[in-house]
Amino acid sequence: MVSVIANNLTKQYGKKKDIVYALKGVSFEVEKGELFGIIGPDGAGKTSLFRILTTLLLPDGGTASVDGLDVVKDFKAIRQRVGYMPGRFSLYQDLTIEENLEFFATIFNTTIQENYDLIKDIYSQIEPFKDRRAGKLSGGMKQKLALSCALIHKPSVLFLDEPTTGVDAVSRKEFWEMLRSLKKQGITILVSTPYMDEASLCDRVALIQNGGILSVDTPEGVISSYKHPLLAVNDGNMLQLLNLLQQYEGVLDAYPFGEYHHVVVKEGYSESSITAYLQQQQLGQVEVHAIRADIEDCFIALMKGEGRS
């Protein structure tokens, strides 16, 4: 069963002269109970997309539905059944943890007790501090509280807009574990993130860039669709190395990647031909080895492919 459908969504901001296209025809489908990642850099259109799907923003074109309900016409029914956690912490800072949770439970016409089992794993971690004001919580605790508030009415679809931005590595890991346990309860989860490494934690991901979707696939699918051989190259003088690599005719693309440069090799060239070329250039200790592409390599390839076309 399909839970969320976006069909050719467009959204633009600004007037006449300087129109910014936030979304340029975005389409995808999310299955029920799926953990769907929307991955893209800042300004790709992730938040606009989420705000349309949560009925906060009207699309300029295209249609979208959540649980079979149209986001424009049936917005009231959608609001009953989605949970939304905005990118910025937006709960009442001057109310305590418990008061915030109680407040959101009440405006959804439910109580904490009724859906306690759903949030138990998350809420129990912050419950010892339930009399503390939300503004005085640490980042990780705020995030847990926000997630609890978004879940308290037992939504069927959960929208999380960049939930892990600005959160430390340990809390991020914890957060993804929470999401996976929520998925087991049958909740459809859409999560947006600028971090590529989180893509592999989703069931399927949509790579988004400049308001357009580059690819929708499983993380493995995205990686296996990467056709070119990939090398990691390392040397004492990284800048010179990068310049040399980019000049070589057998190289499709070369970019810095941590302590290595990743080199995309053209058809007909191989690891040995690159090594030979580099040795010809009289570089010292060159280290070249083949690697498997990860999602970031795929994203860079898709992004540059988009740029070329």
- In terms of CB distance, is 79 or 173 closer to another protein? 79
Residues 4-43 as x/- pattern, contact with another protein by CB under 8 A: ----------------------------------------
Among the residue ranges 53-61, 117-125, 204-212, 296-304, the one whose residues contact another protein (CB under 8 A): 53-61
Quick check: helix, strand or coil at residue 66? strand
Q: Which residues, 183 to 242, sit near another protein by CB under 8 A?
A: none
Residue from the set 24, 33, 43, 56 that interacts with another protein by CB under 8 A:
56
Residue from the set 29, 57, 195, 300 that interacts with another protein by CB under 8 A:
57
Minimum Å gap between C-beta 212 and another protein is 22
Minimum Å gap between C-beta 58 and another protein is 6
Alpha carbon distance 18, 65 (integer Å): 30
Residues 145-184 as x/- pattern, contact with another protein by CB under 8 A: ----x-----------------------------------
H, E, C per residue of 226-240: CCCCEEEEECCCHHH
Spacing of C-alpha 91 from chain mean position:
22
Among the residue ranges 52-60, 113-121, 164-172, 237-245, the one whose residues contact another protein (CB under 8 A): 52-60
50 close to 192: Cβ distance less than 8 angstroms: yes
- In terms of CB distance, is 112 or 283 closer to another protein? 112
Please choose, from the candidates 126, 294, 116, 112, the residue with its C-alpha nearest in 3D space to the C-alpha of residue 205.
Answer: 294
Alpha carbon distance 110, 154 (integer Å): 9
Q: Which residues, 66 to 125, sit near another protein by CB under 8 A?
A: 75-76, 79-80, 82, 84, 86, 88-95, 99, 102-104, 106-109
Residue from the set 3, 54, 143, 148 that interacts with another protein by CB under 8 A:
54
Q: Which two tokens stand for residue 107?
A: 């405006």
Query: 188 CB contacts (<8 Å, ≥6 apart)?
Result: 3, 4, 30, 31, 32, 33, 34, 36, 156, 157, 158
Alpha carbon distance 260, 266 (integer Å): 19
- In terms of CB distance, is 106 or 225 closer to another protein? 106
55 belongs to the binding site for another protein (CB under 8 A): yes
Q: Give the single-character DSSP code of 17.
A: G
The HSE-up count of residue 215 (CA atoms within 13 Å, CB side) is 22
- In terms of CB distance, is 102 or 121 closer to another protein? 102
66 close to 73: Cβ distance less than 8 angstroms: no
Minimum Å gap between C-beta 110 and another protein is 11
Alpha carbon distance 65, 158 (integer Å): 14
Q: Which residues bind another protein (CB under 8 A)?
A: 54-58, 75-76, 79-80, 82, 84, 86, 88-95, 99, 102-104, 106-109, 133, 149
